[in-house]
Amino acid sequence: MREALTAAASLRVTRPAPLRQAVYEALTELIVSGSLKPGQHLVEAELAEYLGVSRQPVREALQRLQTDGWVDLRPAQGAFVHSPTDEEAVQLLSVRAVLETYSARLAAENAKPEDVEGLRELQREGVEALAQGDVARLVAANTALHTAITSMGGNAVLAELISVVSQKVRWYYAPIAQPRGKEAWNEHSQLIKAIAAGDGDRASEVMQKHTERTTGFYRKQLAARAAQG
C-alpha cells in the first residue's frame, strides 16, 4: 500500500477543510482513481502518515466509507477496499441511465451557447485522449462532459443524485473506457448536437441509448470474463 500512496502523495489533506470530511474525500479519490485497489488492505497508521493527519480522522473516515460502500470493515482483520460485485455495477449503471436521460432533456432546454461550446471543448479533449490511449484522461473527460450536461439543467436535486452515482460510475467505467471509447464519443457528439439544437426529445433519446449501450457493453465484458474463468 505504501507504493500506491506514495504515487498519490499530492492528495495530502490540507487543514482548512473539516478534517474528517477532507480525509473521507481524499480516501474516496484514492479508491476511485485506482491508487487503492479493490480488496486492498487499508492500514490506519499508513493512511494517516501519507495524508498528514492523526489516526482518529482516518478511523472516522473508514467508518463512513463502509457506510457508503467504498470499504469493508472485517472483524479482527481491519479495513479493505470494497470489491464491487458484477450485479452492483450493473445496477448502478442502470440507475445512471434513468437519471442522465432526464438530465440531457433539461440540458437541451436550458443550454446557452457558451455551455455548448464548453461541451465541444470536452468532446475534443475526450477524442484526443482516446487517440493517445490515455485512460485516466479519457475517464476524466467523460466525467467532466456528463457533469457539465447535468449542471446545465439547473435542477439541484437531480445534480446531487447524479453526483453520488457518477463517482462510482467513474470507478467502474475505467476498465471499459478504452474499448468502448470510439462508440461512446461518437454518441457524445450526437448528444451535443441535440443539446445545441435545443431538442429535448432527441437529447433524451441519445442519452438513453448511450447509457444503455454502456451498461450492455459492461455486461458483455462480464460475460467474457466469466467464460475465461
Whether 13 has a pLDDT exceeding 80, the answer reads no
**Degrees, nearest 5: CA angle 35-187-114:** 85
Q: What is the mean pLDDT of residues 11-37?
A: 81
Question: Per residue in 113-168, pLDDT tens?
Answer: 999 999 999 999 999 999 999 988 998 999 999 999 999 999 999 999 998 888 88
Question: Per residue in 90-118, pLDDT tens?
Answer: 888 889 999 999 999 999 999 999 999 99
Question: Per residue in 183-218, pLDDT tens?
Answer: 999 999 999 999 999 999 999 999 999 999 998 888
Please answer whether residues 152 and 107 qualify as being in contact, where contact means their C-beta atoms are separated by less than 8 angstroms.
yes
Whether 229 has a pLDDT exceeding 80, the answer reads no
**Degrees, nearest 5: CA angle 98-100-106:** 115
Question: Per residue in 25-60, pLDDT tens?
Answer: 999 999 988 889 999 999 999 999 999 999 999 999
Amino acid 176: pLDDT: 85
The model's pTM is: 0.78
What is the Cα–Cα distance from 28 to 5, expressed in whole angstroms?
Answer: 13
Contact residues for 145 (Cβ-Cβ < 8 A; gap 6+): 119, 122, 123, 126, 188
Q: What is the mean pLDDT of the chain?
A: 90
